[in-house]
Structure 1
Amino acid sequence: MSQKIKWGILGLGKIAGKYCDGLRHASNAELYAVASRDLNKAEEFASEFEAEKSYGSYVELLKDEQVQVVYIATPHAFHHELAIKCIEHGKAVLCEKPFALNYKQANEMISLAKEKNIFIMEALWTAFLPHFRDLETKFKNKEYGKLKSLKADFGFPAEFDETKRLFNKTLGGGSLLDIGIYPVFLAYRLLGMPNRITAEAQLAETGVDESCDIKFHYDQDIDVELTSTFKEKTPTEAILEFEESKVIMNSRFHEPTSITTHKDGKHEVRDYGVENNGYTYEAEHVGEMLLNNKTESDIWSIENTLELMQLLDSIRKEIKLEY
């Protein structure tokens, strides 16, 4: 039997539940402890997901010597503070995306982890999913030919409520950081850092972006259009047009899904047979890195996180949104 890494979870909202569902299927993972500011909530969560320990404060969990790695699943605004606390307590960190509110915070988190020689990674789970890994490999090997355009969107209707996370500026609200990060990630991962960025946004009463339209400009003649919105449901797919083919990451492209390829008047749909919700791949990767004494991922690196944060900062500068 392979060794199992003992996980702790900080913040027990919707995303934590999804992650723990995936963690159940990871061969090298054990959900050991969970923490919430509400002990009753922690106890209920621990019961549902079969965690051994439940704590009514984050610090209590961090003081538990059995915890080897912590998944931070709180709203964006708390990532920086909690990651620092995890590192100071000697815990490896998997921090939900976006990694922080800005580059400055991200750099502080990463610098401390490097100083303490502790593993840290942004939880950008799409990077580990089979359909994305396959697309990325084929793209890098130029199996599709020359790219002409990339268009990716993510949108769903959200009722305006200034107290809720999506529209609350103090919690890092807005469509860009919450869901726009996925189209931005896709363009960055395939094409690298753009030479120039242009962006427009519709801002809510609270000052965060309800929707954001982004263009990345490269030396190559490639049309890159990225969209995020809380105003309507969009296809949430990614379309890559090549000179002699067309590739579609079907809805929802950032989750486990299929890929459709159109070429020579024919189309092929490839299903990747993912039998869980997809978070298992990310969790197993973190476990593998820790068991091999790595301090960063060899798939989604520290440099990747910092460059992605630079892109998000640049977009927010274009739309005049500061946290």
Structure 2
Amino acid sequence: MPLLPAPRLIDPTTVPALRWGVIGTGIADRFVHAIDAHTGQRAVAVTARDAERTRAFAATHGIERVHASVADLVADPHVDVVYVATPHPLHREQALTAIAAGKHVLIEKPIALTAAEATEILRAGRAAGVLVAEAMWTRYLPQADVIRQVLDAGLLGEIDLVRADFGSLVPFDPTSRMFDPALGGGAMLDLGVYIVAFASSIIGPPRTIRAVGTLAATGVDDSATVALKTDAGAQAALTTTFGAVTPVEASVFGSRGRLDVLAPFYGPTGLRLRVDDADAEVWRDEALPTVHDGLGYQATAFASYVEQGLVESPLHPHDEVVSVLTTIDEVRRQIAEE
């Protein structure tokens, strides 16, 4: 009998078909494609800085209305939820504007530049009674539910260590989003949020944070090696870099076995479980044509939470969103002061 359980998925036809207003046209291109192809959610309005590009985006995705500003989009009575898909430094202002207009908000990762900004956004959402969530889409993938079931069943025994890496070869360009401090540049905010969030999902918030890394010529971190330890003694070893392509894998090690998340671990890929001395068991997620089609799962979950009247995601609660950014804040501080 297989040990890896089947994922528990939300049927996208059973949740409300929300009308989404989109801010930004970068990652939003993949998001809107995913919800159109695999969910009942629909983008009905869009705004972005480049008017010509925004009109082209709307035409490509069959979006009805193009707004001239964020203020116009959040005032649109036909919009139920706002998806903030702009560079990190814009998230706080745009999210607060949407919240003030009474809209639910899904905000691309990282939700903000710092833990303090994240706290401000999330408190505003709670006070307004609207759902605010970070778009940490990995948390809603089928394999994430399988991992939760494996941990809840204690199949790995006592968790001792989490490992995760995310490295990508990014040529240095001081004006790019990756390297410009004014645009929220740095490996930890771009790639590192995935590895810290993965560790958090397994072992919870760390008590001890140790980091070394390097800085680009613009002053942002372009690599980091991070060690975390919790009050319970579980540890995490995490690496990220703009200087090399790494395997982009994640693993969880316990007293009875190990669970590997296949590359790239942040998308719908699969799992390999080995318990005691048994042969490894592999489960692969081949349900979708591309990795980023998995973005639709978070939209379906978001709609289900709106239906339930929730103001935070039960799979990715506000305290954890802030905790992950608190860790990233400290990692960046330590690297900058080396």
Corresponding position of 1:266: 279
CA contact (8 A) 1:37 1:58 kept: no
1:230-245 equivalences under 5 Å are 230-245=242-257
Select between 282-291 and 158-167 the one with higher mean Cα deviation. Answer: 282-291
> Cα deviations across residues 249-275 of structure 1 (Å, max 9, x unaligned)?
110001111111234252221013332
Corresponding position of 2:288: 275
CA contact (8 A) 1:42 1:56 kept: no
Letter of the aligned partner of 1:145 in structure 2? Answer: G
Instruction: After TM superposition, give the deviation of residue 299 of structure 1 in Å.
Output: 1.6
Corresponding position of 1:247: 259
User: Structure 1 CA distance, aligned partners of 2:80 and 2:278?
Assistant: 52
- Does residue 54 (structure 1) correspond to residue 54 (structure 2)? The answer is no
**Which residue of 110, 114, 124 maps to 1:112?**
124
> Cα deviations across residues 285-320 of structure 1 (Å, max 9, x unaligned)?
111111232222222112221222222222222223
Select between 230-239 and 308-317 the one with higher mean Cα deviation. Answer: 308-317
1:61-100 equivalences under 5 Å are 61-100=73-112
1:185-224 equivalences under 5 Å are 185-224=197-236
> Cα deviations across residues 144-185 of structure 1 (Å, max 9, x unaligned)?
222332210000100000100000111111000101111111
Identity over aligned pairs, percent: 31
Corresponding position of 2:182: 170
Letter of the aligned partner of 2:226 in structure 1? Answer: I
Corresponding position of 2:159: 147
Partner of 2:166, secondary structure, is strand
- Does residue 285 (structure 1) correspond to residue 305 (structure 2)? The answer is no
CA contact (8 A) 1:4 1:29 kept: yes
User: Structure 1 CA distance, aligned partners of 2:125 and 2:159?
Assistant: 37
Structure 1: where are the runs of 5+ without partners?
Answer: none
| Cα distance change of structure 1 residues 89 and 17 upon mapping to structure 2, 3 Å threshold | same
Corresponding position of 1:320: 336
Letter of the aligned partner of 2:17 in structure 1? Answer: K
Instruction: After TM superposition, give the deviation of residue 110 of structure 1 in Å.
Output: 1.5
**Which residue of 18, 22, 38 maps to 2:34?**
22
User: Structure 1 CA distance, aligned partners of 2:251 and 2:335?
Assistant: 25
Letter of the aligned partner of 1:166 in structure 2? Answer: M
**Which residue of 5, 13, 22 maps to 1:9?**
22
Partner of 1:319, secondary structure, is helix
- The TM-score with structure 1 as length reference comes to 0.94
User: Structure 1 CA distance, aligned partners of 2:160 and 2:126?
Assistant: 39
User: Structure 2 CA distance, aligned partners of 1:200 and 1:268?
Assistant: 35
Letter of the aligned partner of 1:42 in structure 2? Answer: T
Matched residue pairs, number? 320
User: Structure 1 CA distance, aligned partners of 2:178 and 2:158?
Assistant: 38
CA contact (8 A) 1:155 1:229 kept: yes
> Cα deviations across residues 184-237 of structure 1 (Å, max 9, x unaligned)?
111111111112100011000111111011000234454421011000000000
Select between 57-66 and 42-51 the one with higher mean Cα deviation. Answer: 57-66
Corresponding position of 2:6: none
User: Structure 2 CA distance, aligned partners of 1:292 and 1:147?
Assistant: 33
| Cα distance change of structure 1 residues 273 and 94 upon mapping to structure 2, 3 Å threshold | same
- Does residue 35 (structure 1) correspond to residue 47 (structure 2)? The answer is yes
Name the Cα RMSD after superposition: 1.7
Select between 66-75 and 257-266 the one with higher mean Cα deviation. Answer: 257-266
User: Structure 1 CA distance, aligned partners of 2:136 and 2:24?
Assistant: 17
> Cα deviations across residues 29-80 of structure 1 (Å, max 9, x unaligned)?
1111111122221111111111111223222212211111010000001000
Corresponding position of 2:4: none
Instruction: After TM superposition, give the deviation of residue 26 of structure 1 in Å.
Output: 4.6
Structure 2: where are the runs of 5+ without partners?
Answer: 1-12
